[in-house]
Structure 1
Amino acid sequence: PGVINFAGGLPAPELFPIDQIRECVDAVLTNSGPASLQYSLTQGILPLREYIAEHVSKKGLPVTAENITITTGSQQGLDLVGRAFLEPGDYVLTELPTYLGALQAFNFYQVIYCPVTMDDHGIRVDQAEEKIKQFKPKFIYLVPNFQNPSGITMSLERRQKVIDLAFKYHIPIVDDNPYGELRFSGKAMPSLRGIGGDAVIGLGTFSKLISPGLRVGWVVAPIACSKIIERVKQATDLHSATFPQYVIYEFLKRGYLEPHIEKIKVAYAHRLGVMESAMREYFPKNVTWPHPEGGLFLWLQLPEHVSAMKMLNESIDAGVAFVPGQPFHPDGSGANTMRLNFANATPEGIVEGIKRLSVVLKKYC
């Protein structure tokens, strides 16, 4: 209570489209009641998969519903990929830093990480190639759009080079794209799957666009790969919950998604601007960050000697929470980094939270 929360990856609950979801729930119960409450296909309900296939096809390589598996959020997609393809002792190449939830998913399969540093354009391809030659990783895991946690978007040139690596060394890419629709500025990029085709397994989700509580995501993959993922999912949970799939499809069918995305983009872009403006005004000058063109996160670099983890309890006592950056680094580095979520606080709360955090930062920086 009283703590302004910049931690977690939560979207703003006051922006959830509750009235529209209520309409969709009523329509589903009226028109598809028994079917929406029954067991379903492991791959997911066909109309939703067809819609996603059409959406994915617009971004690049054409796919069909057979390429799509509906998952319980994209987090389950990470686990299914791990179950399907990883064995103890396998290497996985990741960005440094990388998404903590992916590390948690893959850790279960006792893998070893090959982390590769990033610059303002994304993963360093020269370093990635050296790691590939040395360790022969099972796959490359990337978050190319508004990366979690760094907020960096991979440039078009870098995307092409990463795809070239995948083909040269016959290594698949896992493209995790929960934030790709949340672009506020800059030029839209083709998806990695749009460039690399069947060299890429894509993960997507409605969690950041509609509601995370509905838990509807998807995996798009080559047919042979989709069949393996389908078998693994069947053994895991038979299928993702039927009712939320029907509700999401009704939401899409009614044309609610695009206007809603535009609405949340305006709100999030404003909150990002408010947070960066407050940081420039109140933070010590030796705290830096890359400017994200979208997504949910700002990634702070503190002076080398500063540990964000050591600041956390004092910050919470001061009434503001953040996520220390070290857990996003599979090599244990990154003690002097932290992640802030600019989406899940009001503009007034953002300014007050940044003021509170600045008081703590000035003691350490």
Structure 2
Amino acid sequence: MLNNKMSKVREYILDEIKKGRIKKGQRLPSCRELSRKLSINKITINKAYKQLESQYRVYSIPRGGFYLVETEEAPSSKAGLVDFKSVVPDEKLIPYREFTHAINRAVDTYKNNLFGYERADGLQSLRATLKGEFEGDGIYTSADGIIITHGAQQAIALVLQSVFLNTKGKLLVEAPTYNLVLAMASKLGIEIVGIERSIAGYDFMEMERVFKLGEVKAFYTIPRHHNPTGYLLSEVDKRKVAELANKYNVLVIEDDYLADLGSRKKALPIHYYDINNRTAYIRSFSKTFMPGIRLGAAILPDYLHKKVLALKHISDLNTSSIPQAALDIFIKSGMYKKHVNRVRKSYEDKLKKAAEIFKALCPEGLYYHIPDYGIFIWLQLPKDIKDIALQKKLADMGIKVSNGSEFFSGGWLEKNKTQNDYIRLCISGVDYDNLDSLATIIKAMNIN
């Protein structure tokens, strides 16, 4: 009888998940609420929830209820859809089970201060842990020099607001660059200037000419695992950026969102070459870890650190303590490093397969860049193929891609428009077997 009632609870919850009424990270109905709805006593419902927890479908927070970890795909999802557009981790690689245990350990370990207000710059223990982790990447700072944010996007937004608030000046960005930063700058009313980012790097004569005008206050750059191209900036070029920024008093906003997926060869950030404290270094844990755990870190020049911290305190008081504590435990236990190595290997294998497909099928007139590490593939289309038209054609075939136009500022495109359009492909969330769809993308161009 008890088992039948527990099965009824389980079936009800799983049905709610399938229908999309309970989503990933969302709190399940309380035992009291479900008891009234199903006419089953609270003890039985709690046992059913515990059973789901033992199967790693949900996780619990003491005195905080049960939350969904892994969700079924909603029926409304398009069957057979291959998504090369979304920048999300491979769901098969997300460490739900391990992180659930880390959350439970975090609540137990830090129970005396987790449910109060934490400092605006983040949990002290996590900042101390990250200090040690960052040193291995050539980033030297104190624990107090690190600000924990709600992902890299919040860090970038806070820096832009702090630099351009109530003052004139321009933001130099790469062409192409991260589309959400373009949207962010536009929303903040910041004037954008572009400089071409090619596989060879920058035209430093052009960069110096722009800096010399004295109008650019900050330069936003993604040195490695560049979004959208996947390009990697050389160590010589990173040093040159730091030198020019210092010479012309320009703040470098270095977005190192995929630092953990770096190549096995030593690659240092611009921050390492900056001896004059003119770099705002930003890191993310969302793209390699769990997208729902919105955590990032910023290391800023002293004058900017205080401004950003004040703005952050006004906007959100602090970053949620529980995921911070869980990430701290996850890193200290060695599980994070193990997870990152697994993710890196998976993405390397995907890129190798993609390279084999393009090498075998790539027609004349199609330029492509597939890096050894990272998550992006950049296609320069033949002159007669338009990005938006190809994007729509592929969507009708069940394949989602990003058109290249959205990664360029409007002003830059008007002045520098070439005869070629571009497409960005992201392999991170695509199943290995579904990479065969790359052949379909090539054939869709009707140039084979």
Q: Smaller-chain TM-score range?
A: over 0.9
Q: State how far apart, in whole Å, the 2-side matches of 1:55 and 1:123 are.
A: 30
1:164 paired to 2:248: no
Worse overlay, 124-133 or 327-336: 327-336
Q: 1:247 aligns with which of 307, 312, 326?
A: 326
3-state SS of paired residue (1:165):
helix
Aligned length: 362
Q: State how far apart, in whole Å, the 1-side matches of 2:387 and 2:362 are.
A: 14
1:344 offset after TM fit, Å? Answer: 1.2
- Hey, what does 1:183 align to over in structure 2? 262
- Hey, what does 1:153 align to over in structure 2? 232
- Hey, what does 2:439 align to over in structure 1? 355
3-state SS of paired residue (2:445):
helix
- Hey, what does 2:124 align to over in structure 1? 46
- Hey, what does 1:99 align to over in structure 2? 178
3-state SS of paired residue (1:213):
coil
3-state SS of paired residue (1:234):
helix
Q: Which has the larger radius of gyration?
A: 2
3-state SS of paired residue (2:196):
strand
Identify the structure with bigger relative contact order (alpha carbons < 8 Å, sequence gap 6+).
1
- Hey, what does 1:339 align to over in structure 2? 424
Q: State how far apart, in whole Å, the 2-side matches of 1:170 and 1:83 are.
A: 18
1:89 offset after TM fit, Å? Answer: 5.0
1:221 offset after TM fit, Å? Answer: 1.0
Q: 1:140 aligns with which of 186, 207, 219?
A: 219
1:289 paired to 2:373: no
Residues 89 and 228 (structure 1 numbering): CA distance in 2 closer, same or farther, change over 3 Å? closer
Q: State how far apart, in whole Å, the 2-side matches of 1:315 and 1:290 are.
A: 20
Q: 1:28 aligns with which of 91, 98, 106?
A: 106
- Hey, what does 2:69 align to over in structure 1? none
1:169 offset after TM fit, Å? Answer: 0.6
2:102–2:326: 8 Å Cα contact kept in structure 1? yes
Q: State how far apart, in whole Å, the 2-side matches of 1:124 and 1:58 are.
A: 31
1:297 offset after TM fit, Å? Answer: 0.4
1:8 offset after TM fit, Å? Answer: 1.8
CA RMSD across the alignment: 1.7
- Hey, what does 1:308 align to over in structure 2? 387
1:284–1:361: 8 Å Cα contact kept in structure 2? no
1:153–1:293: 8 Å Cα contact kept in structure 2? no
What amino acid does structure 1 have at the position aligned with 2:434? Answer: G
Q: Can you list the C-alpha shifts for 1:227-271, whole angstroms capped at 9, x where unaligned?
A: 111001011111111111111111011111211111111100000
1:289–1:300: 8 Å Cα contact kept in structure 2? yes
Q: State how far apart, in whole Å, the 2-side matches of 1:121 and 1:50 are.
A: 37
Q: 1:56 aligns with which of 134, 149, 155?
A: 134
1:66–1:226: 8 Å Cα contact kept in structure 2? no
Q: State how far apart, in whole Å, the 1-side matches of 2:261 and 2:203 are.
A: 24
- 1:192-207 to 2 correspondences below 5 Å: 192-197=270-275, 198-207=277-286
- Hey, what does 2:293 align to over in structure 1? 214
1:277 offset after TM fit, Å? Answer: 1.4
Q: Structure 2: any 5+ residue segments left out of the alignment?
A: 1-77
- Hey, what does 2:339 align to over in structure 1? 260
Q: Structure 1: any 5+ residue segments left out of the alignment?
A: none
What amino acid does structure 2 have at the position aligned with 1:344? Answer: G
3-state SS of paired residue (1:214):
coil
1:73–1:216: 8 Å Cα contact kept in structure 2? yes
Q: State how far apart, in whole Å, the 2-side matches of 1:348 and 1:209 are.
A: 20
- Hey, what does 2:192 align to over in structure 1? 113
1:70 paired to 2:148: yes
Q: Can you list the C-alpha shifts for 1:101-159, whole angstroms capped at 9, x where unaligned?
A: 21122222211211111232323222211121235211111100110001001001111
3-state SS of paired residue (1:126):
helix
Q: State how far apart, in whole Å, the 1-side matches of 2:219 and 2:359 are.
A: 35
Q: State how far apart, in whole Å, the 2-side matches of 1:11 and 1:127 are.
A: 36
Q: Could you state the TM-score of these two structures normalised by the residue count of structure 1?
A: 0.94
Q: Could you state the TM-score of these two structures normalised by the residue count of structure 2?
A: 0.77
Q: State how far apart, in whole Å, the 2-side matches of 1:169 and 1:135 are.
A: 7
1:93–1:140: 8 Å Cα contact kept in structure 2? yes
1:278 offset after TM fit, Å? Answer: 1.4
Q: State how far apart, in whole Å, the 2-side matches of 1:36 and 1:71 are.
A: 17
Q: Can you list the C-alpha shifts for 1:36-56, whole angstroms capped at 9, x where unaligned?
A: 232211000101111222222
